[in-house]
Structure 1
Amino acid sequence: MRTPPEQLRLDTSFGFLDKSVQSDQLFHPLLIDNDGANQMLRAIRHELSRSRSFIFSVAFVTTSAVAMLKQALLDFPGQGTIITSTYLGFNSPGAFRELLNLPNVTVRVYTGTRAGFHAKGYLFEQDQSTTAIVGSSNLTPPALLTNREWNLRFSALPDGDIVDQLRRAVDVQLQTSVPLTVGWIDAYQATYVPPERRSRVVEVGDDAIQALVPGERIVPNSMQTEALVEIQKVRDAGERRAVVVSATGTGKTILSALDVRAVDPKRMLFVAHREQILDRAIEEFSRVLDAPAREFGKFVGPRRELDHKYVFATIQSLTTANNLLSIPPDHFDYVLIDEVHRAGAGSYRQVVNYLQPDFLLGMTATPERTDGFNVFEMFDFNVPYEIRLQKALEEEMLAPFHYYGVTDFARDEQIIDDTSQLATLIAPERADHIIKAIETYGHVGTAARGLMFCSRTEEARELVALLNRRSVHGRRLRTVALTGQDSINTREAVVERLERGELDYIVTVDVFNEGIDIPSVNQVVMLRQTKSSIIFTQQLGRGLRKAAGKDHLVVIDFIGNYTNNYLIPIALFGDNSLNKDSIRKKIMDAQEAGAISGLSSVNFDKVSRGSSPW
């Protein structure tokens, strides 16, 4: 067994002098260029796992990069120092607040104006050696994962001259910087002017459409163009049914409206399970079709506006009493069913079997069902286009997310689950546990606009009372409970308050699982131990829409009893094989790399990692 100094000498000889030297390559020089698995994020996490202290000297830091490294920094047993700057105004006040919230990390800021601060170095102290990574990567997600970067990792013994050079360079930076404090950030924010930045990503989906000039003809984006071509191919082949699978936030409502515009049916029927969804769809369709309001009608409650060109109906109104039988089967030549994963229900099958349109299109983000019903079979297995969550994230069609699986509250050494007594679910100690997790993992530099999902209506209401008596980072929480018992007007009013910044969280059971769009949501807290990958994906999707000023989504999942439960990683990694070995490998790879699906990440705290079946 070689000692670290012996190993380092061999690895250095292998890397710099003779590649034929036999070594274990633990400390060998390595060029890290973000090619494949050779990523900076993985390298930093690896060095943290074997070091006792670290110093990062980086010019630029973003909130999302801090979120990526947060669990690794929380797990780090030693002390760390981060030296950064105000150079070019790149670092936002929010980024500085995120840095300040890291425990056991001292942060210093170079504020000099004579010379720019452009360092990009990462130093790690082990017991008998020093490792440095120096190159081109700042603390930003693209620099850590996807940009073509050059960063050289090398190691040295304590008596090496390069170690002295690095220490002298760090000493200069420490002497010419100031400690980061709340007061410093407040003063910086008072005069901060964000630099103009050219967007690196072209937005797609519903939110991009909303940015168009009123009156301008809406044209499909690249994804929608491809999907429209494939849908038309199905029709050209003589097929009369098709289902499109499109992840939440990728613009499937706009896509369906664009297809209706292309077909130009005499009469169209749009079916959904909530009137709120219909209202949103009418708004989107009216802009895409550029049709007068008189052409849009509803079939909801007492309204029976079947003589309009575009009719929007709830499934409940269609199937109540003999309403469906009063409509001629061929009245609509185009029928569109939203959230078609619900079509296994008897009411949906009744509608699908009765109506005889020229074309029937189903739209869903999650076609799989837990009851064995095959949605694809209902649509004759015609799937002209499919973009799942993982691909949509990789294509940067959605906001990246950072998932934290944290241990749920335990009483008498028993972690709570959906079968726990209500008194345990609403215990003050559990509310304190939730607050601690939010303060640790939630947004610090950006105001939270969050959704909390819990298991019971009573739990939601009681938790709101408890949470509203508590504070996060010194600021009193503002939460409201919403349940299925609340009216649509009440729900819309509460959502508007959240979007205006008057609320921090809406606490609910399943009102927001699907069909409700709140693009500004930047935090999702899961207080229920769902055993459904479908529900998990739906709840995750509530926060994935892009929005102005939204850097990323934070997901805090309070993990209860996950014994034999592999559905959560299925949702995260898109693996429907139910093969435990395959899923376990993906979990382990993701934890080692620190990232999945483009610029998103998955993290589990120490207790969750130790108790999970993965």
Structure 2
Amino acid sequence: MEEIELYPHNQKAYDNLCAMLRDSNRACVVQPTGTGKFVIIAKMAQDNPGKDFLLLGTNDYMYIDQMANLSDIAPGFTPKNLQFMTYATAMAKARCGDEIPRCDVIVADEFHHCGAPEWGKGVQYVVENNPDAKIVGFSATPIRYSDKGRNMADEMFVGNIASSMELEEAWLDGVLPMPKYVIALYDAPKELGELKVSIEKVREKKKYSKFVKKYEELRRSLQDADGIDRIIAKHLRKRDSKVIVFCPNQKKLQEFMLLRREWFGRVNKEIHAYKTTSADPYGSRDFQEFKEDSSSALKVLYCINQLNEAVHVKGIDAIVMVRPTKSPVIFQQQLGRALTSGGNRTPLVFDLCNNFGSLGGIAGMQERMERAYEKKSEQGEKPIYEPKDFHVIDEIKDPRELAEELREALNPSTTIDEKISFLEEIAAQNGGQL
């Protein structure tokens, strides 16, 4: 049996976690997707053969994939003292009052899910049936953004964070490869159509004329911009690349699969297409074939939900985001499919639905990277990379800025000063009362 050797960042997290668990029954690790959190779990099981571990996770894909990767990291080692159970299974057992395996350590992977109403009941049931067990958690983010910003590190682990690393820190330190981020737009006609409908509702002739002129400027700008096929071919040079396309729903998945030759034909005429969805019983077969495909063809896997977290496929060259999301968690999970510790490639990210813009924009991520860089420098650390090494290619900057300008003109946002003036006016009319 081969001993598991951890990367330095995971060794530090592991040592801190073990130290914290000596004084407390609860502790967690917060690290970006792709940094190898499961290897820390496996190391704990390997170093404590006399203890039973119960791993709670989101899906079977996760565990199967992680165990396959573990066999490459530590050949011959299979953690016999580690059981796996999905959060859904734990929930079902709680509802029926079924027996829960006895364990010494409960490990909650992607522990932000423990705040979900029904899954949370399953977790609580597991904990109640193992009152003396240590509880350990791993997640890329402890925050539940869609649930009033609840911090599950505070709720589940009383703030006991043994180790914490932000995505931007991982990029600067070379823990994760810094991607090349390409912004484009796959559905310009829809965007134009929505703006046109809004313009047609304008009754004031002067404003209407102004908006129509701006609309025509935007339409010409989009016509002059390169299409998705040229943008992908410009940046994706490896003919036998492996690509994952994240789709929002079944209808769009079918649409995008039909567009594969239009989108990827300039890279390689031979395209092997696969799909996996939570509702597809043959999805796992397609997923396995995609992973094993070593042909000279371009390999494209279309998926819905299945690979958002905890599943890593070796050799992914690019991901294509066509699933709009306002959730930073889902955004980072999708991004993480192209990022894996120990790689020296520059993965490609094609954002075709403006996820980057809708989640704080380019400036937001670059500002966080600047802060992380300054903090490390003040602490005497010298990161491998600098914020300027993060390359964002905005292929539709001009039309995107035109579209934002037009939207703002159609639906002007009220400034703070304007809101204050409005309230003061109302108060003046009501004897100082609002």
**Please, what TM-score do these two structures have when normalized by structure 1?**
0.51
- Residue 425 of structure 2 corresponds to which residue in structure 1? none
Give the one of 533, 542, 554 matched to 2:337. Answer: 542
Structure 1, residues 456-488: CA drift from partner, whole Å, max 9, x if none?
Answer: 211111221232466214624443333222235
Q: What's the CA shift string for 1:551-600, capped at 9, x where partnerless?
A: 2111111245988x343548734759xxxxx9xxxxxxxxxxxx964743
Distance 2:59 2:256 in 1: 26
Uncovered stretches (5+) of structure 2, i.e. residues with no partner: 196-222, 372-384, 409-434
Contact 2:35-2:341 at 8 Å conserved across structures? no
User: Structure 1 residue 341 and structure 2 residue 112: aligned?
Assistant: yes
2:55 to 246, 258, 270: 270
Q: Establish whether residue 436 from structure 1 lines up as the match of residue 221 from structure 2.
A: no
The residue that corresponds to 2:216 in the other structure is none
Matches within 5 A, 1:134-173: none
| Pairwise CA distance, 1:340 | 1.3
Paired AA for residue 280 in structure 1: D
* 2:361 is the counterpart of 1:361: no
One-letter amino acid of the counterpart of residue 123, structure 2: V
Tell me what 2:422 maps to: none
CA distance in 2, matches of 1:559, 1:451: 15
SS in 1 for 2:227: helix
Structure 1 match to 2:360: 567
Matched residue type, 1:484 = S
In 1, the alpha carbon distance for the partners of 2:305 and 2:194 equals 19
Hey, what's the Cα distance between the residues in 1 that align with 2:246 and 2:141? 19
* Number of the residue aligned with 1:225: 11
* Deviations 1:154-181 (CA, angstroms, capped at 9, x unpaired): xxxxxxxxxxxxxxxxxxxxxxxxxxxx
Distance 1:454 1:287 in 2: 30
Say yes or no: does 1:375 pair with 2:152: yes
1:242 is matched with which residue? 27
Alpha-carbon offset, residue 249 of structure 1: 1.7
Residue 393 (1) aligns with residue 393 (2) = no
Aligned-partner Cα distance in 1 for 2:194–2:227: 12
Deviations 1:414-453 (A, max 9, x none): 1779xxxxxxxxxxx9xx933232123x321453211112
Corresponding position of 1:170: none
Contact 1:257 1:288 in 2 (8 A): no
Contact 2:276–2:306, Cα closer than 8 Å, also in 1: yes
2:280 alignment partner AA: D
Superposed CA offset, 1:379-407 (max 9, x none): 11111101221111111122221111224
- Specify the SS of the correspondent of 1:399: coil
Paired AA for residue 399 in structure 1? P
Residues paired across the two proteins, number: 352
C-alpha separation in 2, matches of 1:526 and 1:263: 41
Mapped partners of 1:539, 1:553: distance in 2: 13
One-letter amino acid matched to 1:313: M
Distance in 2 between residues matched to 1:256 and 1:574, nearest whole Å: 32
- Mapped pair 1:260 → 2:45: yes
In the alignment, the residues of structure 2 paired with residue 415 and residue 353 of structure 1 have an alpha-carbon distance, to the nearest angstrom, of 49
Match of 1:206 in 2: none
Q: Closer, same or farther in 2 for the Cα pair 1:445/1:480, shift >3 Å?
A: closer
Q: Does 1:479 align with 2:273?
A: yes
1:361 CA displacement? 0.6
Cα root mean square deviation, aligned: 3.5
**In the TM superposition, what are the counterparts of 1:174-189 in structure 2 within 5 Å?**
none
Consecutive unaligned residues in structure 1, runs of 5 or more = 1-214, 297-308, 418-428, 577-581, 583-594
| Alpha-carbon distance between aligned partners in 2 of 1:257 and 1:285, rounded to the nearest angstrom | 8
8 Å CA contact 1:257, 1:284 repeated in 2: no
1:343–1:375 Cα contact (<8 Å) kept: yes
Q: For 1:406-555, list aligned pairs within 5 A.
A: 406-411=184-189, 414=192, 433-440=227-234, 442-445=235-238, 447-468=240-261, 471-473=265-267, 475-487=269-281, 488-498=283-293, 500=295, 502-545=297-340, 551-555=345-349
Q: Report if aligned partners of 1:408, 1:558 keep a CA contact under 8 Å in 2.
A: yes
Q: Distance in 2 between matches of 1:325 and 1:224?
A: 37
Greater Cα offset, 599-608 or 266-275: 599-608
Evaluate the alpha carbon distance shift between residue 496 and residue 225 of structure 1 in structure 2; reply closer, same or farther with a 3 A threshold.
closer
Native 8 Å contact 1:315 1:348 kept in 2: yes
Instruction: Kindly provide the amino acid, as one letter, of the partner of residue 288 in structure 2.
Output: A
Q: Please say which structure displays the higher CA radius of gyration.
A: 1
* Equivalent residues of 1:461, 1:481 under 8 A apart: no
Counterpart of 1:203?
none
Shift of 1:269: 0.3
| Cross-structure match for 1:116 | none
Could you tell me how far 1:216 is from its partner in structure 2? Answer: 3.2
Q: CA deviation at 1:278?
A: 1.8
Q: Distance in 1 between matches of 2:11 and 2:105?
A: 20
Q: Alpha carbons of 1:233 and 1:338: their partners in 2 closer, same or farther (altered >3 Å)?
A: same
Q: Following the alignment from structure 1 to structure 2, what is the Cα–Cα distance between the partners of residues 328 and 562?
A: 42
Q: Offset of 1:521 from its aligned partner?
A: 0.8
Q: Which amino acid aligns with 2:61?
A: Q
CA contact (8 A) 1:278 1:313 kept: no
Cα distance in 2 between the residues matched to 1:412 and 1:347? 37
Structure 1 contact 258–288 (Cα < 8 Å) conserved: no
SS at match of 1:384: strand
